[in-house]
Amino acid sequence: MFVQQSIGNMETSQTNISAPSSSSIATEAAINPLYESWVTTDQLLLGWLYNSMTPEVATQVMGYENACDLWAAIQELFGVQSQAEEDYLRQVFQQTRKGSLKMTDFLRVMKSHADNLGQAGSPVPTRSLISQVLLGLDEEYNPVVATIQGKRGISWPEMQAEFRSVSGGNQRQNQNSQPPFNNNRGGGRN
C-alpha cells in the first residue's frame, strides 16, 4: 500500500517531489523530523525500485540517490523504447493487407494489431480499425467495402457479419455452380 501510494504520488506530481528542509525553521541546528521521515521513505522506495528491476535495467539506471530521479530515468528509458515499439506496431497495422489470407484470418490479424497498439498505449478506435481493414482489401471486395462505408457507426461485429454474409453467399454460389456428381461409372451396358 505504501509503495502504491508513493508511486501514485510520483505519477500524478507535475513537479519534482522535493525534500523538506533538513533543519527546522526555529533553529538551524535542530534536525527537521519531516526531513528524516522523507529520507527514510525515499530510501525505502529507492531500494524497492532497484530490487524490482531486472539486472539489465538496473545497470542502465544505477547511481540515482533518490526515488524521484530514479523514477524519471526509468520513465525516460522505457518511454523511448515504448515509442519505438508503438511506431513499429502502427507501421505493421497500416501496412497489413489481406493478400492470400482467409477473411476470418485477416480480420483476426487486424484486430490483434489494434489490440497490441492499445496495450502499447495507443488505442485504436473501432472506426479507425474498420477503415484500416477496408484499406487492406483487394478490389474484389469493393462492393462490400461500399456497403460498410455507407453505414454510419458500424460496429466491429456488424462489419464481421457483413463479410461473413458475403463469403457465405460466395460459397453457396460456388456450390450451386458446380456440375452435379456423375455416379454412372463405366457407362457400359450389361
Going by the DSSP 8-state scheme, the letter that residue 140 receives in this structure is G
Helical H runs in 25-155? 33-51, 55-60, 67-95, 103-119, 126-135, 142-149
Q: Please give the pLDDT value at position 115.
A: 95
Q: Please give the pLDDT value at position 158.
A: 95
Q: What angle do CA 86, 55, 57 make, to 5 degrees?
A: 30
Q: Please give the pLDDT value at position 100.
A: 95
What ranges do the domains of the chain cover? 35-87, 96-173
Q: Please give the pLDDT value at position 83.
A: 84
The single-letter code of the amino acid at 141 is: Y
CB 159 within 8 A of CB 134: no
Q: Please give the pLDDT value at position 15.
A: 45
C-alpha cell at 83: 515509442
The single-letter code of the amino acid at 67 is: A
C-alpha cell at 92: 505493421
Instruction: Report if pTM > 0.75.
Output: no
The 3-state DSSP class for residue 31 equals: strand
Give the largest Cα separation in the chain, rounded: 125
Q: Please give the pLDDT value at position 76.
A: 86
CB 68 within 8 A of CB 10: yes
Q: Residue ranges of the chain with pLDDT lower than 50?
A: 1, 3, 13-15, 171-177
Q: Please give the pLDDT value at position 59.
A: 93
The torsion angles phi and psi of 178, rounded to 5 degrees, stand at: -75, 145
Number of H helices, E strands in the chain: 8, 0
Q: Please give the pLDDT value at position 137.
A: 96
